Structure 1
Amino acid sequence: MTTIASQSAVFHRSLHSDPISVVGANGNYLHLSGGGKLLDATGGAAVSCLGHANKRVKDAIISQLDVVSYVHSATFGTDAAEKLAKALVESTGGEMSKAYIVSSGSEAMEAALKLARQHYLELSPPQPQRTKFIARHESYHGTTLGALSISGHKARRAPYEPMLLPNMSRVSACNAYRGMIENETEAGYVDRLAKELDDEFQRLGPETVCAFVAEPVVGAALGCVPAVRGYFQAVRAICNKYGALLILDEVMCGMGRTGTLHAWQSSLINVTPDIQTIGKGLGGGYAPVAGVLISRKVTDTLFAGTGGFSHGQTYQGHPVSCRAALEVLSIIQEEKLVQNVAAMGEKLEQLLKQLVLPLPHVGDVRGKGLFWGIEFVNDKTTKEPFDPKENVATNIHEKGLTDPHNITLYPGNGTVDGRVGDHILLAPAYNATAEVIELIVRKTAAVIEEYFRQGKD
């Protein structure tokens, strides 16, 4: 990376250095301006689910440009948007009834929060007192002010705390590695978390709560932490008890990433949300696209009320993005890539537990499908995290980018409490082979070993 002040006209994430210049990408590799290449083990932020330069998706985008590139959704519709929405609804087995297509996960979460509120305004009789949301600590739901307000990641919230919405509260995350106490069973852990959530409904006044919001597998904030069995059934029961909606954020963990097309379809989750957000793998990085899937309960309420959603965006249902996403979804289904994710996920889990978990300072590996996190600790026995000043996850990520490793590792911080703790994510393409999975794990182990052997320099 450049060490002098950036001369770029782009307002990059860092104003002190330029990012690495990528001049091409193909399959599992990124090609760099200096002539080298990187094994893309993360798909960016778990986005590039088909790898890079997929010809079918490129051709689909071009074909849509030949039809229409943009119309305003307040007046016009397109075949691309209709077909994508129909395919998404069908992929839920009819559990969800409508799809609302936007451009990013943060936009999807903003829409989901508004939709939950409007649902209660239009019920018969209306329930305008429902203005509050419950989410979880160490969660991340997006970067816009509404989405950040519902998020529990302290470090990401901190600069904007005075601007964030006050009607959001949080309960403990379902994190077996850090949350379960000694000799506690999973069933006992679920009961304890369920009581905490029930108590929070009671504290707020259950009649004032719109929804409980959660990620089925927590991505960037916790490092691919799946819930324990029975947790989401307990959550669903509490929401039903108090008449609140359940919003599942699958922007990072959904669309096949964890071994079922929708994470809630797995036997581990096994509940149906009232509202669901999707993104990242929806378009595979070929176009900016995300969405909200909406249950019949919510759409029926609006249909009987105003007949519309009091929200809209300029690029809502963008034809090119919809066409790209439709092709990505078609490829996933036709090539049985969700099944490959499940199979390769088992291999990834096996190799991570064999080659990475035993390494010094690796406290835990966890995940599902092709969505795995590695948490680093200063002491494996006490689970004591590193001082944030050491920048362990970021430094491991940067070491991975160098010779001879040449691999992308997605870093995360605040793993323990939103400020302290380090992890990296692995999120290979859905079409990864056993050979690619083994290469990723061996390279990852080598990076970690070298980093700690050299004293975290």
Structure 2
Amino acid sequence: MTIPDQSFQLHHTTPQPMAISSSGLRFTLSTGQEILDGISGGAAVNCLGNGNSELVKTMNEQAEKMAFTYHQSLGNEESEKLAKLLCEKSGNEMKAAAFLNSGSEAMEAAIKLAREYWVEKGQPLKNHIISRFPSYHGNTLGVLGIGNIPSRRTVYEPLFSPNIHHVASPQYERFGLPDESEEAYSQRLADELESTILKIGHENIIGFVAEPIVGAALGVMPPPKRYLPLISKVLKKYDLLLIMDEVMCGSGRSGELFAYQSISTKTDGEEGEKVVPDILAMAKGLGSGYVCISAVLTGQRVTDRIRKSGGWKNSHTYQNHPVNCAVARKVMEIIERDDLLTNVKQRGEQLLNELRELTKDISIVFDIRGKGLFVGIELNGSSSLEPRLAARVKGRCFENGLLVMAMSGTIDGIEGECIILGPAYVVTEEEISEIVRLLVMSIKEVAEEFEEEY
């Protein structure tokens, strides 16, 4: 297929490279070039790779059996089974679930649900939300305001609620003070949250919104030690809701099905402090890109209150779609049956180790971090560079046959350059090494050109 000079698609006025087929972690382009997928389709979505015949079969069988029911009129077995499965996989820490169509939609619904919870409890003055900066929670108007990445939200700024407040996102490597431990840094951020709560008045606040492992906003950032337990302690002190965004980091990408479970327990063998969200949103890997599905899950107190008040007031036409739910349940089944979370952990450790070893002498590489198959490579490069450094590396990776994600503004919304990796859970040891080889080669090539410019 010949790529036209101008695209008919609104989102891309300049046509993108045209993918015509894919199998596993390989895309074939219209030019004949083959691209190795290091980011699960482009945004950590396609966790089982392309061409999975079981998912295609499930999709077809459910569509033939029953393609659609409107959730306000009829229930369906697949949404009920998927909700039960996810609640059980949370260790029954989550008590109920509903299914929507995108991560943005799930986060928007989660915020509305949190507000509804307090209204039903007879506390309608609670209408303020605290989030973090930088942060990203979706592209609908409500969650664009709750998140804070200037380049994504500036044009819409006049439409945002004034009742949204931001505290610092955790970036220990960048903003930890000299001789300040991770635990002390986490306490400093928890103190900032408490100070913000006191300034607003806890009686006016709905809750706190955060990704347990920050994705696009910071270029993959697991929290520093004790961050979540200390934040949770503050929220419990003032009886505020904890709303977790696992749209990007959840569904197994961290090595556990739920990302909060992978970081609220210490990794040195000692039992850590349990942190459980009141409301949780997940998407992306939930349907592995084969269907458009997201989920909102609720803990005990939110579930009890909403049921007592007669049910959740949120409603979308394609909510609890039976085909989407059937495919998502099959995705969860395959992940468990094939022990893919073990592969996520093993290949994730391999990815971090190989990257750290092969980039240790590259001056523009600032940090390598991640959890499971969710890894960020932070680069040193000024925002004055045009094109930006991350974009240059992403472009060179593509030329060399590798698909990655590039983010700029990951330090403070303006400065900061990161490459994100998130290959499919079925990735092999050999494919991880090839991803590393291509990325490191691309970074070195760009670094040499970068040094020549300056």
Q: Structure 1 length as normaliser, TM-score?
A: 0.94
Is 1:276 paired with 2:276? Answer: no
Deviation at residue 179 of structure 1 after TM alignment: 2.0
CA distance 1:200–1:96, shift in 2 (3 Å):
same
Deviation at 1:387, TM superposition (A): 2.2
Which of 336, 341, 349 lines up with 1:333 in the alignment? Answer: 336
2:377 to 364, 374, 379: 374
Alignment counterpart, residue 400 of structure 1, candidates 373, 397, 402: 397
Q: Which runs of 4+ in 1 moved over 2 A?
A: 2-5, 267-270, 385-390, 454-457
1:21-420 matched pairs, under 5 angstroms: 21-43=18-40, 44-123=42-121, 126-268=122-264, 270-305=274-309, 307-378=310-381, 385-387=382-384, 389-402=386-399, 405-420=400-415
Structure 2 unmatched runs, 5+: 266-273
Q: CA deviation at 1:376?
A: 1.0
**Deviation at 1:455?**
3.2
Q: Structure 1 stretches of 5 or more lacking a match?
A: 379-384
CA distance in 1, matches of 2:312, 2:413: 34
The alignment of Structure 1 onto Structure 2 pairs a total of residues equal to 442
Task: Tell whether 2:4 aligns with 1:11.
Answer: no
Does 336-345 or 139-148 show the bigger shift?
336-345
- Which residue type is aligned with residue 418 of structure 2? H
C-alpha displacement of 1:388? 5.2
Shift of 1:357: 4.0
**Does the residue aligned with 1:226 lie in a helix, a strand or coil?**
coil
With over 3 angstroms needed to count, the CA separation of the structure-2 counterparts of 1:365 and 1:386, relative to structure 1, is farther
Matched residue of 1:310: which SS?
coil
Write the deviation string for residues 63-90 of structure 1: whole angstroms up to 9, x where unpaired: 1111111111111111111111111111
**CA 1:311/1:288 → structure 2, altered by over 3 Å: closer, same or farther?**
same
TM-score (norm 2): 0.95
SS of the residue corresponding to residue 309 of structure 1 reads coil
- Cα distance between partner residues in 1 of 2:237 and 2:82: 34
| 1:357–1:363 Cα contact (<8 Å) kept | no
Describe the shift of the 1:454–1:227 C-alpha distance in structure 2 as closer, same or farther (beyond 3 A): same
What is the CA–CA distance in structure 1 between the aligned matches of 2:174 and 2:293, rounded to whole Å? 34
Instruction: Return the alpha-carbon distance in structure 1 between the equivalents of residues 106 and 206 of structure 2.
Output: 17
Percent sequence identity over aligned pairs: 39
Could you say which residue in structure 2 is the equivalent of 1:382? none
Q: 1:268 to 1:302 in 2, by over 3 A?
A: closer
Shift of 1:309: 1.2
For 1:434, the aligned partner's letter is: E
Local SS of the residue matching 2:348? helix
Structure 1 CA distance, aligned partners of 2:256 and 2:395?
A: 32
Q: Is the 8 A contact 2:3 2:18 kept in 1?
A: no
SS in 2 for 1:174: coil
User: Using the alignment, how far apart are the partners of 1:9 and 1:345 within structure 2?
Assistant: 39
Note the C-alpha offset of 1:395: 1.8
Output the amino acid matched with 1:277. A
- Deviation, 1:390, is 3.5
For residue 381 of structure 1, what is the aligned residue in structure 2? none
1:365-409 alpha-carbon deviations (Å, 9 max, x no partner): 11110000111104xxxxxx442533111121111111xx20001
